[in-house]
Structure 1
Amino acid sequence: MAHKLALLLAVAVLPAIVLATDYVVGDDKGWTINFDYNAWAQGKEFMVGDTLTFNYPKGVHNVVKVNGTAFENCIKEPNNGITDSGSDKITLATPGNKWYICAFGQHCATGGQKLMITVSDMVMGPSANAPSSSTRTNMAKGLDIFLGAILALALLVDLLMKAIALATDYVVGEDKGWTIDFDYNAWAEGKDFMVGDTLIFNYPRGQHNVAKVNGSAFQSCTKEPNNGIMDSGNDKITLATPGNKWYICTFGQHCAVGGQKLKISVSDMSMSPGMQPTPNPTAQSSARTNMANGLAIFLGAIFASFLVILN
Structure 2
Amino acid sequence: MLPCCEISDATNYTVGDDDGWNFKVHDWPTSKKFHTHDTLVFKYNNGHHNVALVDKNGYTTCTIGEGDQVFSSGNDEIKLQHGQNYICGFPGHRAARMKMAVIATQVFKYNNGHHNVALVDENDYTTCTIGEGDQVFSSGNDEIKLQHGQNYICGFPGHRDARMKMAVTTTQGRS
Question: Do the two structures share a fold, i.e. TM-score over 0.5?
Answer: yes
Counterpart for residue 59 of structure 1:
47
1:24 and 2:14 are equivalent in the alignment: yes
Give the RMSD, CA atoms, in angstroms: 2.6
- How far has the Cα of 1:44 moved from its partner? 1.4
1:119 and 2:104 are equivalent in the alignment: yes
Counterpart CA distance in 1 for 2:71 and 2:25 is: 21
Counterpart CA distance in 1 for 2:106 and 2:86 is: 20
Contact 2:106–2:143 (Cα < 8 Å) also in 1 = no
1:103 and 2:89 are equivalent in the alignment: yes
Unaligned 5+ runs, structure 2: 109-116, 118-136, 146-175
Determine which structure has more spread, i.e. the larger CA radius of gyration: 1
Larger RCO: Structure 1 or Structure 2 (Cα < 8 Å, ≥ 6 residues apart)?
A: 2
Counterpart CA distance in 2 for 1:122 and 1:15 is: 6
Counterpart for residue 91 of structure 1:
79
Q: Deviation string for 1:145-189 (max 9, x for gaps)?
A: xxxxxxxxxxxxxxxxxxxxxxxxxxxxxxxxxxxxxxxxxxxxx
Taking structure 2 as the reference length, what is the TM-score of the superposition? 0.56
Contact 1:66–1:78 (Cα < 8 Å) also in 2 = no
CA separation of 1:117 and 1:53: change in aligned 2, threshold 3 A: same
Q: Deviation string for 1:246-304 (max 9, x for gaps)?
A: xxxxxxxxxxxxxxxxxxxxxxxxxxxxxxxxxxxxxxxxxxxxxxxxxxxxxxxxxxx
Q: Sequence identity, in percent?
A: 31
- How far has the Cα of 1:121 moved from its partner? 1.7
Contact 1:41–1:117 (Cα < 8 Å) also in 2 = yes
2:68 alignment partner, SS class: strand
2:103 alignment partner, SS class: strand
Whose strand fraction is larger, Structure 1's or Structure 2's?
2
Counterpart CA distance in 1 for 2:43 and 2:56 is: 23
Counterpart for residue 58 of structure 2:
70
Tell me the amino acid that sits aligned with residue 115 of structure 1.
M
CA separation of 1:127 and 1:15: change in aligned 2, threshold 3 A: closer
Number of equivalenced pairs: 112
Counterpart CA distance in 2 for 1:71 and 1:44 is: 20
- How far has the Cα of 1:113 moved from its partner? 1.2
- How far has the Cα of 1:106 moved from its partner? 1.7
Counterpart for residue 46 of structure 1:
34
